[in-house]
Amino acid sequence: MATEIDGETNGCIFEWKIENISHCWLKNGKEIRSPVFIADALEDTKWSLWLYPMGDRDDKNVGIYLARERDFSGPNEIEVNYQIAFLDKNGTYLTERTLLKRVFGKERIWGFSEFEAREKVFITKRKSFLPEDTLTVQCTIWIKYEYQTLVKPDLCFARTVFKVNRKSFLWQIPKFSTLKPGLRSKFQDDLIDFDIVLNEIEDLVKKLDIDIISFNENIKYFLFRISIINSYGEKEPCGEHEYFASDIEERVLSTPLFSKMLMKNETRYLSNDVLLLDCEYVTSNGLFRHEVVTGCGILSSKLTKVVVEKERSQHSSVLASDLKLMYEDGSFSDTELRTSTQTFKAHKSILSARSPVFRRMFSNDMKEKNSGRVDITDLEENTVHRMLLYVYTDTLEDLQLESACNLYVAADKYEILSLRSRCSSFLKDSLCPKKACDILALADRHQDDDLKIAVQDFILTHDKEVFGSQKWKDFIDTNPKLAADIMYWKVFPG
């Protein structure tokens, strides 16, 4: 055990979470780099981790390295010991490697090309390594070898999120046993348009061909997953396939569908000769974002804060669960929110605590206070449900671009500022050439300068895609001043 000599800090712990990592588009030999962190205890040196999800020297192993970044204040060389580990959701080591007395010059890299088998991380032990599709990496660096454990290490937390777009749909295929090849169904979203074509190879063996009609040139990754809904309503995985940019450019992607097996099990899979497929696809445009959650600091104060925040998070989770149950079963409700299609039971005290608008309704002599209901005819029931779920639990579930726009409007109407801010952040992250004009108009209507500037910058960056679209031509007609502003900045930048 180490003893604490003069209370001196002798190291740094960096924890890095990489979200949506299974949908990473990087190929073998390509790395994702963590945010740079500064270790005060290591003479103000700068560091980062380089992760090779698809392998560095081969495609069978995940590679990871510690890199010293160029800095102006640190020494030319520094000798350190370091440990890199993959953690499970409870912080337990799954894989750990340690190197001692490694000398790092500026821009020097040390690490492991075969840190852990890819099959183990992504397939056989996936639940342990990738809870909620998130890989957690911890790097510990220290400088005094005689200490067997760290003394007051600096702490730093960061995360990287691979941006993905998920969609799912059901495809019902009647008269499957007598179906002729060539059945086609069209699907479309903001990034990619494609047809699914059911073809026959030979001897009743069918395959699904994904015929790419058009796609955003920024797409780096496409995953297609198929499950069969059996006669008992259960999903049975049928297969999934990943495709990268070069595959998508070929325009035709194939997924086998073994119809012999289906025909032999008609009772299980072909109720009334109808095949029901649950299809899910995931696209990524190659974007990701870094976020430093907590800066480096001294353990004696920072660790206390981390522990307290962790406990607070656990208590908040229990509270949110209890409040969600209270919302869903309507226990002790004293008011109702009514849309044109549905009525939601709610509690005045909770609504008032979260929204100044509701507080004014229930505090002043307004009809909502006396009638016991609030009529909301300008919002859809799904939007009101999402708004209430956030009000009670502070969470957002399965947000998509359209629902985020609607929820943004609701948040602005009822002055739920934290919800508006989260919707605004989601819209910024979801910007694409097809939707930029709509989001710009939304930001302008609600006088959201921060969102408005973000969209304007996006349009100027992607001017060729936006200005050449029919959306932009329509936008010029409906929002001539907004369009003129952008064209002015295009001609006179800065």
Q: Distance of CA 279 to CAs 166, 179, 338, 463, Å?
A: 11, 19, 34, 34
CATH code of the domain containing 197: 2.60.210.10
CA–CA dist 132, 161 (Å, integer): 12
Q: Check residue 349 and report its DSSP letter.
A: H
Measured in degrees and rounded to the nearest 5, phi and psi for residue 200 equal -120, 135
Looking at residue 452, which CATH number applies to its domain? 1.25.40.420
For 277, the domain range is: 165-286
Considering the domain architecture, whether residues 26 and 46 belong to the same structural domain is answered as yes
Distance separating alpha carbons of residues 257 and 128, to the nearest angstrom: 30
| Domain identity same for 417 and 436 | no
**432 vs 475: CA distance, rounded Å:** 15
Residues 197 and 263 in one domain: yes
Q: Which of 425, 444, 464 is the last residue of a domain?
A: 425
Given the DSSP bridges, would you call strands 335-338 and 192-202 parallel, antiparallel or unpaired?
A: unpaired
Report yes or no on 230 lying in a domain: yes
The per-residue pLDDT string of the chain (494 residues; one tens digit each, 9 = 90 and over) reads 333 334 455 788 899 999 988 888 788 888 999 988 887 778 888 899 999 998 998 889 999 999 998 876 778 899 999 999 999 988 899 999 999 889 999 889 999 999 999 999 988 999 999 998 899 999 999 886 544 455 566 778 888 888 887 887 787 878 777 767 777 777 776 667 777 777 766 655 566 666 767 666 677 788 888 888 888 778 888 777 777 766 766 666 666 665 566 667 777 877 788 888 888 888 887 677 776 654 443 332 333 333 334 444 444 556 777 788 788 877 788 899 999 888 999 998 889 888 989 888 888 766 666 677 899 989 999 999 999 999 998 888 778 888 999 999 999 999 998 899 889 988 988 888 889 999 999 999 998 888 998 899 889 888 888 998 899 999 999 999 999 989 888 877 65
435 plus 416 within the same structural domain: no
Question: First vs last Cα of the chain: how many Å apart?
Answer: 59
Same domain, 18 and 143: yes
| CA 485/CA 379 separation, integer angstroms | 31
- The answer as to whether 379 is a domain residue is yes
Choose the final residue of a domain: 369, 395, 425: 425
Same domain as 21, residue 145: yes
Angstrom distance (rounded) from CA 253 to CA 270: 25
Whether 442 is in a domain gets the answer: yes
pTM over 0.75: no
Count of beta carbons in the 10 Å neighbourhood of residue 173: 15
Give yes or no: residues 135 and 245 share one domain. Answer: no
In a domain, 311, yes or no: no
Number of domains the chain contains:
4
Position 389 in a domain: yes
Structure tokens belonging to residue 90: 């409870």
- Where a domain ends, among 425, 443, 475? 425
- Amino acid residing at 490: K
Q: What is the largest CA-CA distance in the chain?
A: 83
